[in-house]
Amino acid sequence: MLSTQTLPQATTDIARAKRDIDEFGYCLIANALTPAEVEAARIRLIEQAAAELEYGLAFEDGGPEQQWGAFTDGRGRLRRQVYTAVAGGVNQRVWMLVNKGRIFRAILFTASVRAIVDHVLGDDYLLSSYSANIAKPGGVAMNLHTDQWWMPHPIERGPSPVPIGSITRQRPNLEGGEPGAMIAPCVCVNVMWMLNDFSAENGGTCFVPGSHLRGRPPHMERDADVETLAAEGPAGTAMVFDGRLWHGTGANISSENRYGLLTTFCGPQFRPQENFTVGARPEVLAEASPALLALLGFKIWSGYGRVESPVAEYIAQGERSLGEMQSAQSA
Ligand SMILES: O=C(O)CCC(=O)C(=O)O
């Protein structure tokens, strides 16, 4: 039985929160968002989600046959799955929030939360995805997972048990299933922003405290009985967690929706889930600060992400390389 007394409590003490995430793989920031921010974000989210539903564009998962992440089979082959309520989805995801309201962009720069992300990821990192998960009554628990399932595990000298390009959600490069002494570092951090009160009943994120140090992702059968906690807290609380923490959406057995925003950040050498350099809308980029452009991947990192010169500072959306050229003298 997990003793909640020794586990992290919501705090505004950032030093405490940094110790919590190091030790337990998560921390809870109290009042990360003001009541006005919570209200503005929730109203915008509800409006956006309703419109995406109305236009037949909603992504609905969280049903027994509608698990997020089950996009490929064990060999990485795409499963043709439809994520709609008609096909059994219950919850609603809203993607690419960076394009869907100024309030969402402002939230990215919440100082208390970013201090934790800086602490874990260091000087440079990218936004990997920015979405909402509206967990609705009847939604089932999501399979426990980590957010860096693609991260190769340390191996013995010799060929990798699974080549790098063959790693899938179901197939890590771990021989025998249990890690050795060395484990992979944390390379992404997720933030769950609570836009209404989260509870165990309304689908508060389930997680396994301390699992970030187990050195492997959860195994569906072998870890079926693992004890989980639910992230609970009043609207405005942010749960910041290590990309290695075992977690997933809780089952919503209440009669109300649970509104949560998820921002995932990753090291600059990894591929973000959402492709902002293609998908960010021009009107958003036109008013974006250098800091937002950097988060979205428009800033070149040690020569990576460039179109031509590695010493250019930023790239522009739609920028093309020079292409085939000929000397004017040979024309
Ligand atoms: O909705 C939640 O509580 C967590 C969602 C999650 O784990 C995910 O999208 O990977």
Q: Is 5 helix (H, G, I), strand (E, B) or coil?
A: coil
Give the CA distances from residue 171 to residues 61, 162, 167, in Å, rounded to whole numbers and listed in that order: 22, 8, 5
pLDDT in tens, 60-71: 998 887 776 666
Which atom of ligand 1 sits closest to the CA of residue 131? 9
Is 70 exceeded by the pLDDT of residue 13?
yes
Of the candidates 234, 237, 183, the one whose C-alpha atom is nearest the C-alpha of residue 210 is 183
* DSSP character string of 148-216: TTTSPPP--SSS-SS-GGG-BTTB-S-SSSS--S--PPP-EEEEEEESS-B-TTBTPPEE-TTGGGSSS
| pLDDT band of 72, cuts 50, 70, 90 | low
Where b means 16+ CB within 10 Å and e means fewer, 133-144 reads: bbbbbebbbbeb
Q: Is the pLDDT higher at 264 or at 79?
A: 264
Structural domains of the chain sorted by starting position, each given as residue range(s) with its CATH number in brackets: 14-299 (2.60.120.620)
Which atom of ligand 1 sits closest to the CA of residue 69? 10
- Residue range 31-41: mean pLDDT, rounded: 98
Ligand 1, atom 2: nearest CA belongs to which residue? 249
pLDDT in tens, 140-168: 999 999 999 999 999 989 889 999 999 99
Please choose from 202, 247, 261 the residue to mutate so as to test ligand 1's pocket, defined by most ligand atoms within 8 A of CB. Answer: 247
Where b means 16+ CB within 10 Å and e means fewer, 159-193 reads: eebbeeeebbbbebbbeeeebeeebbebbbbbbbb
E-strand spans in 218-306?
229-230, 238-242, 247-248, 258-266
Of the candidates 85, 72, 132, the one whose C-alpha atom is nearest the C-alpha of residue 104 is 132
Share of the chain above pLDDT 90, in %: 80
Q: How many CB atoms lie within 10 A of CB 109?
A: 12
Please tell me the number of Cα atoms within 13 Å of 38 on its side-chain side: 19
Ligand 1, atom 8: nearest CA belongs to which residue? 248
Residue ranges lining ligand 1, Cβ < 6 Å: 68, 133, 135, 142, 192, 205, 247-249, 260, 262
- Residue range 179-202: mean pLDDT, rounded: 96
Mean pLDDT of the chain: 93
